Amino acid sequence: MSIDHSKAIETAHVLTEALPYIRRFAGKTMVIKYGGNAMDEGACSTSFARDVVLMRLVGMNPIVVHGGGPQIGKLLERLGKKSEFVQGMRVTDDETLDVVQMVLGGLVNKEIVSGLTQAGGRAVGISGKDSAMIRARKMILSGGLASAPEIIDIGHVGEVESIDPALVESLCATGFIPVVAPIGVDDSGQSYNINADLVAGKLASVLNAEKLILLTNTRGVLSKQGELLTGLKPPQVEALIADGTIHGGMLPKIRCALDAVNSGVRSSHIVDGRLEHSVLLELFTDEGIGTLIRG
């Protein structure tokens, strides 16, 4: 029986290409935002878990912040409640907040923890309410005309006021992978639903992380001709926003990525989470697969 050595040689090349990155990032903190859309892809959720566990095993400190918008929408629909959005934010009344906390703090969080555990990791699920880690304040939106602005109340939707990193730092120091549900609490004990991108970006800044990785359902930032753009500096990103290249749903993500690098995070990455092993391909290969924004 003849043996084809080409696959083994290719694997060896991949490992040697990864080695300098593994060495460079050992001991570094990586905050990964894992989106609800990427979770729906079965094979990708398995490869994501293996990627994160491998990061931990080679000495990095990965922290997962997850969303769950599609899962929240599905449960609300089963309960006969229609989802309503204003400026991209889910209107969150008392009943919707109960569903958000059940899905984010329970179902989705524990599914991710289970996946990481099955892949050989030691994961712990927490929410921003644990140890009052994420202090939140009510988000107020404005609309209407400039001459007559209107305040829009979207319920229990919050923004991050501050983050106490002690809990996640303690988990990382003892070999665990923290999995964070983006629910915050104010001084009175009121809970708030917070956008996971915002939580991930703020957490990366507070931890002075090496990287913020935003997994999404697009290839990254594209030129007007559809080519992937990467290796960008903040002034280049601002120019792409100004000329309309970056628009629509990509704007909040790119703003989050920019805020992170402007607050001390070494680099932000916007990566297609629908691709298998997308995190490893972005971190450990020379070319990467997504959009890299350098601080």
- The Cα 262–Cα 275 span in angstroms is 28
- The Cα 112–Cα 45 span in angstroms is 8
Domain span including residue 249: 30-285
Percent of the chain having pLDDT more than 90?
Answer: 68
Kindly report each contact of residues 232-239 with a partner whose C-beta sits within 8 Å and lies 24 or more positions away, as own/partner: 232/291, 232/292, 232/293, 232/294, 233/293, 233/294, 234/258, 234/261, 234/262, 234/293, 234/295, 237/293
- The Cα 281–Cα 227 span in angstroms is 18
- The Cα 99–Cα 70 span in angstroms is 12
Q: Rounded mean pLDDT of 57-67?
A: 96
Show binding-site residues. Answer: 68-69, 90, 193
CA-to-CA separations, 183 to 8, 84, 102, 158, 193, in angstroms, rounded: 45, 19, 11, 9, 5
Amino acid at 30: M
Q: According to the model, what pLDDT value does residue 40 have?
A: 62
pLDDT of 38 over the 80 cut: no
pLDDT digits (tens, 9 = 90+) for 135-188: 999 998 876 545 555 778 899 999 999 999 999 999 999 999 999 999 999 999
- Within its chain, how far is the Cα of 41 from the centroid? 16
Percent of the chain having pLDDT more than 70?
Answer: 94
Question: Which residues pair with residue 136 across a beta bridge?
Answer: 160
**Is the model's pTM score more than 0.85?**
yes
Question: Which residues pair with residue 153 across a beta bridge?
Answer: 140
pLDDT of 8 over the 60 cut: yes
φ, ψ of residue 149 to 5 degrees: the values are -65, 150
pLDDT of 43 over the 70 cut: no
pLDDT of 6 over the 90 cut: no
Q: According to the model, what pLDDT value does residue 13 have?
A: 79
The reply to whether 203 falls in a domain is: yes
The reply to whether 21 falls in a domain is: no
Structure confidence at residue 41 as a pLDDT band (50, 70, 90): low
Q: According to the model, what pLDDT value does residue 256 have?
A: 92
Least confident interval from 34-48, 242-256, 272-286:
34-48
**CATH assignment at residue 157:** 3.40.1160.10
- The Cα 43–Cα 184 span in angstroms is 31
Show binding-site residues for substrate. Answer: 68-69, 90, 193
The reply to whether 215 falls in a domain is: yes
Overall domain count for the chain:
1
Question: Which residues pair with residue 90 across a beta bridge?
Answer: 85
Classify residue 103 by its DSSP letter.
I
Q: Compare 37 and 118 and report the one with higher pLDDT.
A: 118
Classify residue 92 by its DSSP letter.
B
The reply to whether 106 falls in a domain is: yes
Q: Rounded mean pLDDT of 191-203?
A: 95
The reply to whether 16 falls in a domain is: no
pLDDT digits (tens, 9 = 90+) for 215-271: 988 888 999 898 999 999 999 999 999 998 998 878 888 999 999 999 999 999 999
Classify residue 130 by its DSSP letter.
G
Nearest CA among 8, 48, 62, 113 for reference residue 281: 48
pLDDT of 3 over the 90 cut: no
The reply to whether 50 falls in a domain is: yes
The reply to whether 274 falls in a domain is: yes
The reply to whether 10 falls in a domain is: no
